[in-house]
């Protein structure tokens, strides 16, 4: 019995959200033992199990306050894990070793030891996986909504339990009992369904808000960039006046040689300033959809800063992109990221972005110079294929999926002469 409680606390330790010190582990063990002792001795199973569960909950609430809620849930999972693993291992020695050998004392002790070790490693492994799934950055337990759901489910369970006990006529006919239970269970399922739907909705809303937040951030970058450009322009204006003044000085003195020298040294190089292309972003002002504008500006600023020759051409005002902006932002994000990464591998990185308003809709063309490394076009679109090592190749196939969900979005992909082009045609209505 001591051993089984040891195993239980071991399993809980392995799934615990935080590292458990030896002292804490021993405390947990003793607590469980204390809670479980009367049960096992008095063999009052249902309430005893409840006692153990409560003990683990209390321990979780008291021991590590900051992750209390997670502790309780992970503790419960620990119980399940312990039970399942133990069940699995129980039959293992019987299967591998003949009973005659097993009955010898030292063999059975060794088998017990191996069993505990196996138990430890199995729970450790499962614990790691579970923690990664549930608690890491985007784990399920990190979502606020999951907690609401868990709370609601617990509350409902308790209500039903109480209801079940309070309701009269429980001792009546079996038919009535079945009727009652069916009523309870269906009610429970219905409420859970509504809860799930509500949770899904709130989750979607959360995603939308996050996207909006990101868009706002990008827009701020864009504004900042515009300010820098404007300041550059102002200083250029200022310089321009000075240059005019000095030229007029040379002309008044009719000093042609000096003028020529001044022109070659000082004025002609300013041409370079103009060509630098810091003001390429200004064409983005033709896009009036804020989310898209901010995304494009963020990606283009990033590309420009990475030393890519960026060309942006948006000749007309684009007021609507005809599909959901969040979806479009995802597609464009994937395409632009791919384009930037691919073109950075070449010697003269170059990216082009064209957005053209047509009578029939909007064309978005993203082109990039790429290295011709023999990757066939059709492979790029497969899920799980990536030219980058260590990447999953999910991006393009995801974009494909989103595009597939729209009837009015058509994608053309071309790879010719070291130039990779994604041409997206968004049409109004059915194209």
Q: In the complex, which residues of this chain contact another protein (CB under 8 A)?
A: 280, 311, 313, 315, 352, 354, 356, 358-361, 363, 365, 367, 376-378, 381, 400-401, 403-407, 410-416, 425-427, 430-431
Least distance to another protein, CB of residue 354, Å: 5
Q: How far is the CB of 367 from another protein (least distance, A)?
A: 7
What's the distance, CA 155 to chain centroid?
30
Rank residues 141 and 351 by Cβ distance to another protein and give the closer one: 351
DSSP H helices, 306-354, are 325-344
Rounded to whole angstroms, how far apart are CA atoms 370 and 18? 47
Rank residues 64 and 406 by Cβ distance to another protein and give the closer one: 406
Shortest distance, CB of residue 412 to another protein, whole angstroms? 4
CA distance 404 to 417: 28
Nearer to another protein, 269 or 359 (CB): 359
Distance CA 214, CA 208 (A): 10
- The total of other beta-carbon atoms located within 10 Å of residue 105's CB is 7
Residue among 11 and 424 whose Cβ is closer to another protein = 424
d(CA 101, CA 237): 97
Q: Diameter of the chain by CA atoms?
A: 120
CB of 300 to another protein, least distance (A): 14
3-state secondary structure of 234: helix
The residue (of 33 and 308) whose beta carbon lies closer to another protein is 308
Question: In the complex, what is the shortest distance from the CB of residue 283 to another protein, in angstroms, rounded to a whole number?
Answer: 9
* Between 112 and 315, CB nearer to another protein: 315
Kindly list the distances between the CA atom of residue 396 and the CA atoms of 117, 152, 404, in Å, as whole numbers in the listed order.
45, 39, 12
Nearer to another protein, 222 or 420 (CB): 420
Q: Please report how close the Cβ of residue 411 comes to another protein at its closest, in angstroms.
A: 5
Measured in whole angstroms, the distance separating CA 398 from the mean position of its chain's CA atoms is 14
- Alpha-carbon distance of 275 to 267, in angstroms, equals 14
DSSP state of 423: E
In the bound complex, what is the minimum distance in angstroms from residue 374's beta carbon to another protein? 10
Angle at 384 between CA 326 and CA 382, to 5 degrees: 75
Least distance (Å) between residue 234 CB and another protein: 20
- Least Å from the CB of residue 406 to another protein: 7
User: 209 vs 405, which CB is nearer to another protein?
Assistant: 405
Q: What is the dihedral of CA 107, 109, 113, 114, to 10 degrees?
A: 20
Asked if 194 and 152 count as a contact pair (C-beta separation under 8 A), the reply is no
Q: Which is nearer to another protein, 326 or 411 (CB)?
A: 411
Our CB check for another protein shows the closer of 180 and 427 to be: 427
Q: Smallest gap, in angstroms, from Cβ of residue 233 to another protein?
A: 15
Q: Is 355 helix (H, G, I), strand (E, B) or coil?
A: strand
Q: Tell me how far apart the alpha carbons of residues 298 and 221 are, in angstroms, rounded to a whole number.
A: 7
Q: Which of 137, 91, 116, 152 is nearest to 2 (CA)?
A: 116
Q: Which of 429, 397, 423 has its CA nearest to residue 410?
A: 423
Number of H helices, E strands in the chain: 15, 5
């Amino acid at each position: 019995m001591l051993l089984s409680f040891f195993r239980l606390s071991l399993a809980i330790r392995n799934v615990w959200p935080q590292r458990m010190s030896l002292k804490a582990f021993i405390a947990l063990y003793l607590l469980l033992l204390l809670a479980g002792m009367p049960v096992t001795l008095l063999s009052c199973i249902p309430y005893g199990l409840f006692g153990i569960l409560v003990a683990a909950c209390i321990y979780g609430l008291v021991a590590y306050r900051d992750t209390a809620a997670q502790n309780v849930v992970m503790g419960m999972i620990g119980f399940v894990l312990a039970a399942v693993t133990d069940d699995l291992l129980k039959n293992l020695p019987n299967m591998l070793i003949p009973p005659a050998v097993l009955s010898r004392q030292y063999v059975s002790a060794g088998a017990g030891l191996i069993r505990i070790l196996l138990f430890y490693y199995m729970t450790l492994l499962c614990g790691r996986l579970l923690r990664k799934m549930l608690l890491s950055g985007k784990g399920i337990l990190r979502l606020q909504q999951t907690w609401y759901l868990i709370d609601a489910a617990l509350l409902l369970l308790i209500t039903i339990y109480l209801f079940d006990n309070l309701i009269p006529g429980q001792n009546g006919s079996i038919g009535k009992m079945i009727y009652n239970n069916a009523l309870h269970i269906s009610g429970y399922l219905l409420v859970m369904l509504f809860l799930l739907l509500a949770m899904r909705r709130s989750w979607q809303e959360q995603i939308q808000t996050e996207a909006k937040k990101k868009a706002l951030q990008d827009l701020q970058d864009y504004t900042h960039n515009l300010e820098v450009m404007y300041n550059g322009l102002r200083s250029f204006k200022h310089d321009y006046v000075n240059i005019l003044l000095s030229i007029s000085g040379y002309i008044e003195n009719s000093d042609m040689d000096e003028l020529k020298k001044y022109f070659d040294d000082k004025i002609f190089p300013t041409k370079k300033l103009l060509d630098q292309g810091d003001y390429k972003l200004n064409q983005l002002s033709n896009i009036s959809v804020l989310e898209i504008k901010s995304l494009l500006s963020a990606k283009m600023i990033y590309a420009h800063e990475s030393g890519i020759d960026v060309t942006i051409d948006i000749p007309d005002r684009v007021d609507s992109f005809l599909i959901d902006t969040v979806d479009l932002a995802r597609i464009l994000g994937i395409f632009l990221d791919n384009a930037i990464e691919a073109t950075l591998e070449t010697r003269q990185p170059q990216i082009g972005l064209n957005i053209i308003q047509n009578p029939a809709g909007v064309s978005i063309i993203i082109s990039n110079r790429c290295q011709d490394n023999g990757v066939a076009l059709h492979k790029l679109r497969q899920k799980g294929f990536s030219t980058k090592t260590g990447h999953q190749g999910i991006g393009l196939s995801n974009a494909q999926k989103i595009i597939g969900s729209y009837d009015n979005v058509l994608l053309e992909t071309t790879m010719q002469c070291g130039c990779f082009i994604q041409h997206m045609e968004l049409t109004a209505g059915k194209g």
